[in-house]
Structure formats: C-alpha cells, structure tokens
Structure 1
Amino acid sequence: MKFLFDLFPVILFFIGFKLYDIFVATAIAIGATIALIIYAKIRHGVVEKMLLVNGAIISVLGGVTLLLHDKTYIMWKPTVLYWLLAAVLLIANVFFKKNFIQQMMGKVLNAPKAIWDKLNMAWVLFLVILGFVNLYVAFNFSESAWVNFKLFGVTSIMFIFIIAQTLLLKQYLIEPVENKEEK
C-alpha cells in the first residue's frame, strides 16, 4: 500500500502528461505531492522526511519548470532525488556510522555489519547509476519516452533490484513469528 502511496504523484504526472502536456503534468505532480504531505500530517501526525525532501525538490524544480516554461528542470528532478538520497546514505554511513538501510530493513534482516555496509553501498551505487540513466533517457529520447520510463522503467528497475537483493540476502531473512494458537 505504501508503494502505491509513494507512486501516487508519479501516476498522476503520467496521466496529466498523457492528457495534456508536461507542464500540466508538473503542476499536477506538485499538487499531488503537497496533498500527500498534508494527508500524512493529518492522518499520522508526522510526515516522513523522504516525502518532505521529495516535496521540496518537486516544488523547486517543478516550480522553475512552470515559471520558465522549460521542461529541463522537471527532467532533472528524479536524478536530483536519487543523487541526494545516495549522498545521504554514503555520508551517514562513512562519517556518522549510521546505516539507514539497516535502520529501514533491520526488522526483516539479521545480517552482520559487513553485509549491511555492502547493502548500503549497493543502494548508493544503484541510485547514482539510476540518476545517470534518468538523464540519459531524458536527454536522448523523446519526452514521451522519458515519461514512460519514469513510471514504468524506474519502477521495474527498482523492483528487479529489490528482488535481486532479497534473493542474495535470503539467508539473513528473519522468520516471522507465527501465531501459535492451540487448535
């Protein structure tokens, strides 16, 4: 469910693009992201930092896109987000000895520190590469191809990356505690 929640602005961006153009889609994505932030605050009393960062990036780069009527800025948005996240993961791990991947996945994986560090670095490299791939598609293919890639390509690549991790790390998966009711 959270996955669809996170994809909501991207899906609306895609629909807005298909029905109108990239500028209407950008305005819709900004509005959808702001609506998600407001919803999260009202519903849960707190907004995840990642959603706030995404909201700031889409608002700034999307706002510049709309102001200058130049699609370049919105096309950079995914790359900026990926690279910022990669930098946070790397800096937190190297300089502050905090592994955010471990903090997020520690309830489902029981792995040694070396594995967590490798997993963190895998995410850093993955996000950096994904940022470059976004730029390659954005500036070497049609606008429509980029929009399709943004929704379907990135989602598929991310899904494959997560499945590959799961298969490689299956020995460290924590078994769920089963409900041992008497029969």
Structure 2
Amino acid sequence: MTEKQVNPTLRAALEYGPIILFFVAYTFLKDRSFMVGGTEYSGFVAVTAMFIPVLALATLAMWKLTGHLSKMQIVTLVLVIGFGGMSIWFNDERFFKMKPTMIYLLFAGILGFGLLRGTSYLEAVMDRALPLERAGWMILTKRLALFFLALAIANEVIWRSMSTDAWVNFKTFGLPLAMFAFFMTQAGLFKRYGTDEDASES
C-alpha cells in the first residue's frame, strides 16, 4: 500500500506540533500544581497528561491522511503512552523523562541486531527517501546506531543531573537539532554512495 502525499506544512504540524505544544504548556504551567481526586500533581505531570492524547490524535490524523505509519511513529506512541501513563499513575515525572532513553536504546539495538546479521534495517525503512548503494547503507546504519546510543546516554545524563527546564529544552530543541545535524554531516557519504535512480531505470 503506497503512502498518500500530504501537504508538507500539515505533515510538519502533525509531527512537531505535539512537542511544541508540550513545551509551550510546560512553560506556562511548570510552577503550578493541580489537585485531582485528592492527589496533588505538578505542572510537569499535568502537561504530560495533556501530551499523551494530543500525540495520539496527531498520530491518528497522520494515519488517516497518509494511510501509513512508520515503525518509529508507532513505537514512539506506545512508549509515550506507557512511560507517560506511569508518570501519571505513580505521580512521578522520572518515568516520562526515561522515555527518550528507551526509544533510542530500542532503535540502536534493532539497527545493531541487523548489522550483526549482515543487513541494514534502515534501508528497508528509508530506501525510497535515500537511494544508496548497499555499502553506504551499512555505514549509515552503523553510524546511526551509535548516534542513537549517544542520544540515549545524553538523555540519561541530562535528566538525572540537570533541572527539568534543561531537560525540556533538550527534548524540544536539542534532540531534533541533533538529528538534523547528524544527517547534515553525512553529506559526504550520500555523495559517495548515492545512486542515480533515473540512470538505473533507463
């Protein structure tokens, strides 16, 4: 089943809107507390409770519009519901802060397992977006697995040793910028191992 094309602005809004909304809500509510059912919840936990349905709705909307969800989107939603739900249930923000660590460790582990088997799971997911020779896919997969591992370590260091404000800034801006920077630094690899689809089809 082919993925339907969606307006790029709408796609960006669905992909990045929930995390931006999380940041804005946290900025306004971080110093407040909320009493629900006799239990007092911090602003962070309250914003987490808001973020879960917003992300779920955005993911559902993406699926309705495109008819497709990537494995990364599905795993992210499941872990947000799981770790976010534990933060709310136990009234402990630490569970939600662990979520990026679990996501990146999972992705690094999956890519690493594929490499041990002599294959690139990344190629199966991104082949249409990045036409590369097999050697290029193997190199990129190894680099991305190590990058995900580094992000997991960075997340653990930041949430355990820094303030919640610092972690929210890292999650909202640091992680997306790090991902963008990673792929920008792979320009040499794309140039060396890129394939000309038009030429191969002629």
SS of aligned partner of 2:154: helix
Match of 2:169 among 148, 155, 164: 148
Find the counterpart in structure 1 of residue 187 from structure 2: 166
* Cα distance in 1 between the residues matched to 2:25 and 2:197: 41
Find the counterpart in structure 2 of residue 84 from structure 1: 106
Find the counterpart in structure 2 of residue 19 from structure 1: 28
Q: How does 1:34-53 map onto structure 2 within 5 Å?
A: 34-53=56-75
Match of 1:68 among 87, 90, 109: 90
Q: CA offsets per residue over residues 112-139 of structure 1, 9 Å max, x none?
A: x333212111111000110000111111
Once the two structures are aligned, what percentage of the paired residues are identical?
26
SS of aligned partner of 1:169: helix
1:103 aligns with 2:124: yes
Gaps of at least 5 residues in structure 1 are: 178-183
Contact 1:12 1:25 (8 Å CA) reproduced: no
Contact 1:12 1:28 (8 Å CA) reproduced: no
CA positional deviation for 1:59: 0.4
* Cα distance in 2 between the residues matched to 1:83 and 1:74: 15
Find the counterpart in structure 2 of residue 5 from structure 1: 14
Distance of aligned partners of 1:85 and 1:35 in 2 relative to their CA distance in 1, 3 Å threshold: same
Q: How does 1:128-139 map onto structure 2 within 5 Å?
A: 128-139=149-160
Match of 2:50 among 10, 14, 28: 28
Contact 2:18 2:55 (8 Å CA) reproduced: yes
* Cα distance in 1 between the residues matched to 2:195 and 2:139: 19
Q: CA offsets per residue over residues 82-122 of structure 1, 9 Å max, x none?
A: 11111111223323x441222344343332x3332121111
CA positional deviation for 1:150: 0.7
Contact 2:87 2:93 (8 Å CA) reproduced: yes
CA positional deviation for 1:174: 4.2
Contact 1:62 1:74 (8 Å CA) reproduced: yes
Q: CA offsets per residue over residues 17-44 of structure 1, 9 Å max, x none?
A: 1121211221122112210232133223
Gaps of at least 5 residues in structure 2 are: 1-7, 30-42
Letter in 2 for 1:23: V
State the 4+ residue runs in structure 1 displaced beyond 6 angstroms.
none
Match of 2:138 among 117, 123, 128: 117
